[in-house]
Amino acid sequence: MAQLSDDCFAFGGALMSVEDAQALIAARVPAATGEDIVPLAAARGRVLARDLVAPIPLPPFFNAAVDGWAFRHSDLDAGAPTRLRETGRVPAGHAAALPVGGQEALRVFTGAPMPPGTDTCVMQEDVQRDGDTVLVPPGLKRGANARPAGEDVALGSTALAAGRVLGPAEIGLAAALGQARLAVRPLPRVGVFSTGDELAPPGAPLRAAQTHDSNRFTLLAMLAGLPCVASDLGILPDDAVRTAAALAEAARDHDLLLTSGGVSTGEEDHVRAAIEAGGSLVFWRLAVKPGRPAAMGVLPKAGGDFRAGGTPVVGLPGNPVAAVVCFLHLARPLLLRLAGAADRPLPRYGAVAGFDYRKKAGRREYVRVTLRTEGGATRAEKFPREGAGLLSSLTQSDGFAELPEEVTRVAPGDAVTVLPFAGML
Ligand code: AMP
Ligand code: MG
């Protein structure tokens, strides 16, 4: 598994921009090495370790794209219907033994090999049949309704590049190329902690001054869609010694640790200190709203010795919406690198702002918006409230409008970039 040493980041000063944080991650986090060979049925969500070079073309042979008749295009009259005589039949899965002669056609079915000599098909819906003849209308182009070998994937081309996260489409393509197994990267082990004396797990009754822990479950649910094996490491109390001990221990058998809460400036915030005590802090505080208190660091993997490599730790903010924002922009790219995955930028779409909003320059903001399509344009309306603790804002809106650092005002009608929650949250 990838290893991180303590000198692989430079401490970036006060507030780090999202872009700089991501550049650090891309430059310094070593991509996964090693391979597991898995059957195709177990490959979903894994990261391809080697380029898949097409050992066969797709389709493998020239074949009919319709149920109909195959013939030589040169036999057709360009301006009038042409009568051809049916001389045989080729179902899918059967080789066409008969070559076709002049003014002849062979009955073919979708996926059947094109009989030798033929180059074009007509759909059965488009002909008039009369005994053993068919009347083919004029106007068909040479090659119509037929699929050349390799039109989908050429023999020897790179069908899937190493680093690709395998989803249903990739798995289908690998199957079509005859691969029963694939070489994939080992999955990084990700441990998730919540922190806070006020937290009670869901299922437990709330005592006075308690609130249910939600971040751990949001984070584990987001991790379920990423290439990793996530483990739930529970809730840490607001206690410096116990936080440091728990993080140090978890660093030994995980490849990434995520915490939420306890990373602000208060004296009850112990995550940053625990990273500094046991390892090294890479940066603290991100120029993003919601999400400012976020920390990233490295803890030694084995017994305080960095030469054995390090485990990155991302200290996410406690407020649930801030935790989600920082997860998406810090933890996700870091995890994808550890997993050996190629960069997968979050999907972004253009929309038109339906709101007026002012912000400070120098930090990026993610504003929750609902989306509505109107006259061909997507209009983004701001969710009426802004609190970083408003979990229901995520279920009642459709995405984040991404307002760049330099922007200070968004006016109705302005173009905005939106990161939709679909597929992300
Ligand atoms: P903190 O950064 O620890 O001061 O937490 C900021 C806010 O987020 C506080 O209101 C916490 O109660 C809340 N919070 C922290 N962790 C969680 C969590 N795991 N689930 C829900 N809320 C949390
Ligand atoms: Mg706290």
For residues 22 and 50, membership in a common domain is answered with no
In a domain, 4, yes or no: no
What CATH code is carried by the domain that includes residue 133? Answer: 2.170.190.11
Query: What is the pLDDT averaged over residues 371-397?
Result: 96
Q: What is the pLDDT of residue 1?
A: 41
- Percent of the chain clearing pLDDT 70 (strictly above): 96
Q: What is the pLDDT of residue 350?
A: 97
Q: What is the pLDDT of residue 307?
A: 66
In a domain, 104, yes or no: yes
Mutate to test the pocket of ligand 1, among 319, 325, 390 (most ligand atoms within 8 A of CB): 319
For residues 24 and 77, membership in a common domain is answered with no
Q: Using an 8 Å Cβ cutoff, are 326 and 373 in contact?
A: no
Query: What is the pLDDT averaged over residues 257-272?
Result: 94
Where do we find the tokens 């009850």? 268
The residue whose CA has the least distance to atom 17 of ligand 1 is 318
What CATH code is carried by the domain that includes residue 24? Answer: 3.40.980.10
In a domain, 202, yes or no: yes
Verify whether ligand 1 is closer than 6 Å to residue 198 (CB atom).
yes
Model confidence at 85, in pLDDT bands (50, 70, 90)?
Answer: very high
> Final residue of a domain: which of 317, 338, 359?
338
Q: What is the pLDDT of residue 220?
A: 98
Verify whether ligand 1 is closer than 6 Å to residue 214 (CB atom).
yes
Sequence-distant (6+) residues with CB within 8 A of 121 are 64, 65, 66, 68, 69, 70, 71, 108, 114, 144, 145, 146
Model confidence at 302, in pLDDT bands (50, 70, 90)?
Answer: confident
Q: What is the pLDDT of residue 53?
A: 98
In a domain, 298, yes or no: yes
Mutate to test the pocket of ligand 1, among 192, 207, 215 (most ligand atoms within 8 A of CB): 215
For residues 261 and 211, membership in a common domain is answered with yes
In a domain, 8, yes or no: no
Residue 119 has pLDDT above 50, yes or no: yes
Residue 3 has pLDDT above 50, yes or no: no
In a domain, 5, yes or no: no
For residues 312 and 384, membership in a common domain is answered with no
Structural domains counted in the chain: 4
For residues 228 and 283, membership in a common domain is answered with yes
Mutate to test the pocket of ligand 1, among 192, 197, 199, 325 (most ligand atoms within 8 A of CB): 199
| Ligand 1 atom index nearest CA of 319 | 8
What would the pLDDT profile of 139-149 be if each residue is shown by its tens digit?
A: 999 999 999 99
Report CA(186)–ligand 2 centroid distance (Å). Answer: 33
Please give the residue range of the domain that contains residue 105.
63-147
What would the pLDDT profile of 211-226 be if each residue is shown by its tens digit?
A: 999 999 999 999 999 9
Query: What is the pLDDT averaged over residues 163-171?
Result: 98
Alpha-carbon distances, residue 369 vs 10, 218, 348, 417, 419 (angstroms): 35, 19, 13, 11, 10
The residue whose CA has the least distance to atom 14 of ligand 1 is 318
Where do we find the tokens 């049916």? 86
Residue 17 DSSP code: P
In a domain, 152, yes or no: no
Q: What is the pLDDT of residue 9?
A: 44
For residues 234 and 193, membership in a common domain is answered with yes
For residues 77 and 26, membership in a common domain is answered with no
Q: What is the pLDDT of residue 304?
A: 67
What would the pLDDT profile of 346-367 be if each residue is shown by its tens digit?
A: 999 999 999 999 999 999 999 9
What CATH code is carried by the domain that includes residue 362? Answer: 2.40.340.10
Q: What is the pLDDT of residue 2?
A: 43
For residues 211 and 305, membership in a common domain is answered with yes
Give CA angle at 160 (156, 161), nearest 5°: 100
Helix (H, G, I), strand (E, B) or coil at 234: strand
Query: What is the pLDDT averaged over residues 259-265?
Result: 94
For residues 307 and 221, membership in a common domain is answered with yes
Q: What is the mean pLDDT of the chain?
A: 94
In a domain, 177, yes or no: yes
Report CA(238)–ligand 2 centroid distance (Å). Answer: 7
Q: What is the pLDDT of residue 309?
A: 77
For residues 234 and 131, membership in a common domain is answered with no
What would the pLDDT profile of 37-62 be if each residue is shown by its tens digit?
A: 999 999 999 999 999 999 999 999 99
DSSP 322-337: HHHHHIIIIIHHHHHH
Model confidence at 31, in pLDDT bands (50, 70, 90)?
Answer: confident
Cα torsion 98, 103, 109, 115 to 10°: value is 30
Q: What is the pLDDT of residue 11?
A: 43
For residues 195 and 331, membership in a common domain is answered with yes
What would the pLDDT profile of 331-351 be if each residue is shown by its tens digit?
A: 999 999 999 999 889 999 999
Verify whether ligand 1 is closer than 6 Å to residue 264 (CB atom).
yes
Query: What is the pLDDT averaged over residues 111-118?
Result: 96
For residues 333 and 285, membership in a common domain is answered with yes
Report CA(192)–ligand 1 centroid distance (Å). Answer: 14
Using H for helix, E for strand and C for coil, what is the string for 170-189? HHHHHHHCCCCEEEECCCCE
Q: What is the pLDDT of residue 8?
A: 39
